[in-house]
Structure 1
Amino acid sequence: MNEEFDHRVPVLIVGGSLVGLSSSLFLGRLGIRHMLVEKHAGTSMHPRGRGNNVRTMELFRVAGAEQRIKDAASILAGNHGILQTSSLTDDEGEWLFKKIDPGDTLARFSPSTWCLCSQNDLEPVLLTCAREYTGDLRYSTQMLSFEQDAEGVTAIVKNRDTGEHSTVRADYLIAADGPRSPIRERLGIGHTGPGDLFHNVSITFDSRELADIVGDRRFIVCYLTDPDGDGALLPVDNREKWVIHVPWHPDRGETLEDFTDERCVEHIKKATGVSGLDVRITGKAPWHAAERVAERYADRRVFLVGDSAHEMSPTGAFGSNTGIQDAHNIAWKLAAVLEGWAGPGLLETYEMERLPLARATSARASARSVEHSHPGYAPAPGVGGGRQSGMLTVAMGYRYPRGAVLGADSELPVVPERMQLGGEPGTRAPHMWVRRSGKRISTLDLYERSFVLLSGAEGKDWHAAASRVAEQLSLRLDAYRVDSGPEAELAPENGADWAEVHGTTAGGAVLVRPDGFVAWRAAGPVPEPEAVLHEVMTSLLRPA
């Protein structure tokens, strides 16, 4: 094409909230140049979306951001559990659960843990991290239109400060533009799911006396159930800054203007059970809980991530975490295609893997809102009943029965009833502590920029085959021998058996994708490992 463009980048990201910023960070870590445009002037100012689950924190760990996020979230590090009570002066309250990780069992599965970091604290960290890499991040910049053709996407963007228009030419576009996504609408992509569930107004307020009333009940959220003052109370700093989500009923003609400061103050006093409480309203923001999943996640060179692809009830923070993990899934696949070591067909697996997961997770989020009796939610009959998978299983035990995997059982559910991370193809690879060059790392720390083949002392042929196949196919494939012997690159701690942990034998091998999911597994040695591995990689990377 001879047309001149103001900017040329491999990837254009539209939307600079949590998922857009995560997309930028993950692409930047992989060395992929990109531009991010966000119509707002800066990051979020409202404390919301605070729950970052263990799988999300694993991704931020590998991306070098985990400790910075923990530092930003340190003020809430001691908050655990969900309390339900008629008021804060009521001693009859019930803990729905008192600790996120009872028994400290999570350490068996992951080097990371859950983290409470509100969106207004998390986004600045992600922005700082993303700007350290290959991204051109532009706030106060709105995409006005886009067109795609066989070779790429052309977008017109506007600087909202200067009014200047410019054209951006990209190979691919990531739509992280929220639940009302203009990009999704432009593509004519519809939804499945029940739609709107309930509406709340999020009210931020200051109260110095409330900390004394809360006392040592360091909850994540407290559901207050007084019929005249129900709401979900969340601490911001455990001292004087708080948020309460209160029901809003637009279906009854109720408007946002009805939520005057005076009404909000009285509601908070009733909800807490303290009629003389000092309350100063500092902000209000409406939000809508919905269960919707896009019918398609991609349209040629455009990919939906986060809320543009799915809306979920906020209970459990499934929506933001699923969105960040969407971004990670498409980032490594775009990098592989743009760098030329995978074919465009690999990008088709994004929808294969992430769309079924969103459907399962969104249903689980709605069910959890029923379990917690979220203020303002009157579920339809039958919603939330039956046996449900646990939080940890939903967060990190999900699997990809189809997609860029070989040997996965396509009949198994996307979210199983119980946690099973034993190296099965399509599941997140097991976590093991190992020593590499004397340094303690998790095996999960190996998975970011390349495929990784793990084998043991009896897997020398696998190790050599990986090197030759990587050269033949010009792809990113690293190999590690896991054993206590002198030739091993990774030494398991405490005599752990890597083969047993990964569900194979001493002569077998496990192939892990850049996102930490098992792509394929060999139960034992084979006569021609190079030919087998060559065929596996060719099939996974879909060169046609």
Structure 2
Amino acid sequence: MNPTPRERVPVLVVGGSLVGLSASLFLGRLGVRHLLVEKHADTSHHPRGRGNNVRTMELFRVAGAERPIREAASTLAGNHGILQARSLTGDEQEWLFKEIDPGGGLARISPAGWCLCSQNDLEPVLVRSARELGGDLRFSTELVSFEQDADGVTAELKSRETGERRTVRADYLIAADGPRSPVRERLGIGQAGPGDLFHNVSITFRAPELAEVVGDRRFIACYLTNPEADGALLPVDNERDWVFHAPWHPDRGETLEDFTDERCIDHIRRATGALDMAVEITGKAPWHAAERVAERYGAGRVFLAGDSAHEMSPTGAFGSNTGIQDAHNLAWKIAAVLDGAAGPELLSTYEAERLPVARETSARASARSAEHSHPGYAPAPGAGGGRQRGVLTVALGYCYPRGAVVGADPELPVVPDELRMTGEPGTRAPHMWLTGPEGRRSTLDLYETSFTLLSGSDGDMWRTAAKGAVQRFGVRLNCYLIGTEPDDDLAPEEGADWAEKHGTTPEGAVLVRPDGYVAWRAEGRVADPEAALAEVLEALLCRT
């Protein structure tokens, strides 16, 4: 490598798909200068993974990207549920679930909601948003090699257009470079799990007549179970463009070349039951479903995120969402260390928090594929089977029993059986609506670029403690008094009790991390709030 780097940047992100682009967005929101490189010339053109769960949309909401994402997703805004059918023209049909949020109960616990936005529509939004924040995104640029030392990472990059090579020196490297991650392999990090689950060929096709066959069944996906022509049908625009996932069996000697246009057309017709339908094949792309989780989430100054850290069955769309949430967890921690507010040991909590979540979530995803009898998936005897309860607990309710939290129950399950939104340390902070100078906001809208301390009308001592902490640690920390008194910062909606909602008392306080997770909670009056808060922040920020 060139001993004199030509560029210097705090963070280098490798991989410009959903997770890498999300990392760029989150780092930009925190004011962290960074460079993202992606070997492909552009974002994805294939309508791949589309399910963005409520937690992901909460993160995009506070990052200012929710509105453009929903605009990009407007075509499928009315699609809900998973249908299972022998064909679209027969009587053997069953909704595995018909509504994502039956009864609208989700609005009580979140200001956001699920969003069906295909990867080819979502990625351009993330590119625009990241670049507006100053992100340096370079496509057709690949990582050739990297070395790290105690002070940083030196990476060699190559332009795939010109062949030019240049050296970049970064404090940290985030590898979002996919399931076959060269960075993970270079670090020698192994993987654990069952491995490959099944293989599909994703076929994009045009068939205007199919809209009549589908009718008013506005599904997210339809699992077609004809044993001679099974697969999954997904709408692109509900009118003429569609995607069909056809099972592929390379273990039986099948090759991609075997999936000729004629074979694909015949398969789609038989699977849907529309035997005379005109079909035009517009594209094909292989994909592989697997359950693997990295044994570590990085080494030294290099961190794994997304598919480089975990592969999951697509059922439930947990994989990309988990990766986006990886990036969010890591971004605020890197920002705190670069700011000098936190010690570098804070970055070790990334693995402590996210690795257990990946293990639990990947297992749930495979079980859900078994439950839904996903085409092409033949689970091992005894795997999966029964109905999966609490999908929302996987998407929204995952917990951090250990990591950058103080006072969390170490026995707290990573994915609980029931949703826990009561302000416990290590859980996502509760949502409630507040009114203040900036209008109506969710509590979740307060959390992104700083720690946040919430207290009641009599919380002047906590406000003083927060000011002292800012001066002492140089940490980003905002304090809000919630109540109906004139000096309060924010007022809850009529009849709402912020203290009860957060599991504390009017004299207590709740400290929330930049990612919206409860870092610590004082459940009542504290003799010396300033000393108590300082002790907590020393532990959280690894300053001891």
TM range (shorter): over 0.9
Q: How far apart in 2 are the matches of 1:198 and 1:30?
A: 39
TM-score (norm 1): 0.99
Once the two structures are superposed, residues 430-469 of structure 1 have per-residue CA deviations (whole angstroms, 9 ceiling, x without a partner) of 0010012150010100000100000001222112111111
Alpha-carbon offset, residue 494 of structure 1: 2.0
Q: How far apart in 2 are the matches of 1:276 and 1:495?
A: 60
Counterpart position of 1:357? 357
Once the two structures are superposed, residues 89-141 of structure 1 have per-residue CA deviations (whole angstroms, 9 ceiling, x without a partner) of 01330001100001100000100000000000000000000001132100000
Q: How far apart in 2 are the matches of 1:520 and 1:385?
A: 39
TM-score (norm 2): 0.99
Counterpart position of 1:340? 340
Counterpart position of 2:305? 305
The answer on whether the counterparts of 2:371 and 2:387 sit within 8 Å (CA) in structure 1 is no
Alignment of structure 1 residues 423-462 onto 2, 5 Å:
423-437=423-437, 439-462=439-462
Counterpart position of 2:181? 181
Counterpart position of 1:109? 109
The answer on whether the counterparts of 1:9 and 1:168 sit within 8 Å (CA) in structure 2 is yes
Residue type at the aligned position of 2:276:
G
Q: How far apart in 2 are the matches of 1:388 and 1:336?
A: 38
The answer on whether the counterparts of 1:459 and 1:525 sit within 8 Å (CA) in structure 2 is no
Alignment of structure 1 residues 199-238 onto 2, 5 Å:
199-238=199-238
Q: How far apart in 2 are the matches of 1:128 and 1:49?
A: 20
Residue type at the aligned position of 1:353:
E
Task: Write out the 4+ residue segments of structure 1 that deviate beyond 2 Å after TM superposition.
Answer: 385-389
| Aligned CA distance change for structure 1 residues 223 and 445 (closer, same or farther; 3 Å) | same
Counterpart position of 2:160? 160
Once the two structures are superposed, residues 312-349 of structure 1 have per-residue CA deviations (whole angstroms, 9 ceiling, x without a partner) of 00000000000000000000000000011000010000
Counterpart position of 1:274? 274
Residue type at the aligned position of 2:305:
V
SS at match of 2:122: helix
SS at match of 2:463: helix
Residue type at the aligned position of 2:165:
H
Alignment of structure 1 residues 302-451 onto 2, 5 Å:
302-385=302-385, 388-437=388-437, 439-451=439-451
SS at match of 1:494: coil
Q: How far apart in 2 are the matches of 1:524 and 1:99?
A: 41
Alpha-carbon offset, residue 484 of structure 1: 1.0
Alignment of structure 1 residues 388-537 onto 2, 5 Å:
388-437=388-437, 439-537=439-537
Counterpart position of 2:35? 35
Counterpart position of 2:190? 190
Q: How many residues align?
A: 543
Alpha-carbon offset, residue 386 of structure 1: 5.8
Alpha-carbon offset, residue 387 of structure 1: 7.0
Q: How far apart in 1 are the matches of 2:505 and 2:257?
A: 66
Residue type at the aligned position of 1:309:
A
Counterpart position of 2:240? 240
The answer on whether the counterparts of 2:371 and 2:388 sit within 8 Å (CA) in structure 1 is no
Matched, 1:13 2:13: yes
Once the two structures are superposed, residues 220-275 of structure 1 have per-residue CA deviations (whole angstroms, 9 ceiling, x without a partner) of 00000001110100000000000010100000001000000000000000000111
Q: How far apart in 2 are the matches of 1:415 and 1:377?
A: 24
SS at match of 2:158: strand
The answer on whether the counterparts of 1:222 and 1:232 sit within 8 Å (CA) in structure 2 is yes
Alpha-carbon offset, residue 196 of structure 1: 0.4
Residue type at the aligned position of 1:435:
T
Q: How far apart in 2 are the matches of 1:193 and 1:334?
A: 29
Unaligned 5+ segments in structure 1 are none
| Aligned CA distance change for structure 1 residues 389 and 523 (closer, same or farther; 3 Å) | same
The answer on whether the counterparts of 1:73 and 1:115 sit within 8 Å (CA) in structure 2 is yes
Q: How far apart in 2 are the matches of 1:194 and 1:134?
A: 41
The answer on whether the counterparts of 1:14 and 1:175 sit within 8 Å (CA) in structure 2 is yes
Counterpart position of 1:142? 142
Identical aligned residues as a percent: 73
SS at match of 1:402: coil
